[in-house]
Amino acid sequence: MAITIQRVVWIAAVALAAVTLEARQQIDAGVIVQFQRAADSYAFEHRQAERRSAPPPSLVEGAFFTPLVAAAFRDRIRTSGCGIPQGAAGDSAVPRLNQSSEGAGPLPQCLSAVLPALPAELEYRVSGVALLLADAHLHIVVDVLHAAFPRSVAP
């Protein structure tokens, strides 16, 4: 009788874990779609502004990296198994929105593979421990994901 109860409890725990994992994956997928829609919308506005010779779209920090998107990105970066990018170990200043992204380093391929693909108008860059979303044509910062990479721990 005790073995049967233990078996039922064990099966219930495994089932709950599977349901929780599936729910988390569905939430993550929805959040990534939200990010991709925002990126596509920016790319469309960017192309329209170029055609009209208008100024670029206005930017607001957190428009792309909402709290849910930021959590999903940090989780993907943390579980990717990639090391900290070269430019991320130091305490370099993180550029603000609309500032030049020229000094920021490129994102390593192993990290690019775990993050959503971007339209041609956008690119990921690294500055300090921040992940930058940059306009690839204007070379300006579009959004900043602060604390995207863990700081290296000195021995």
- For residue 45, report the phi and psi dihedrals to the nearest 5 degrees: -60, -40
Q: What integer pLDDT is reported at residue 76 of this predicted model?
A: 92
Q: If you average pLDDT over residues 36-64, what whole number do you get?
A: 90
Domain-by-domain residue ranges, the chain? Answer: 2-145
Distances (CA, A) of 108 to 40, 44, 126, 145: 22, 26, 9, 16
Which pLDDT tens digit goes with each residue over 52-100? Answer: 988 877 899 999 999 999 999 999 999 888 877 755 445 568 899 999 9
Question: In angstroms, rounded to a whole number, what is the distance separating the alpha carbons of residues 11 and 106?
Answer: 46
pTM of the shown model: 0.78
Of the ranges 9-18, 21-30, 101-110, the best mean pLDDT one:
101-110
> How does pLDDT run across 102-141, given as a tens digit for each residue?
989 999 999 999 999 999 999 999 998 899 999 999 999 9
20 pLDDT band (50/70/90 cuts)? Answer: low
At residue 153, the 3 state secondary structure works out as coil
Q: Which of 109, 105, 96, 27 has its CA nearest to residue 62?
A: 96
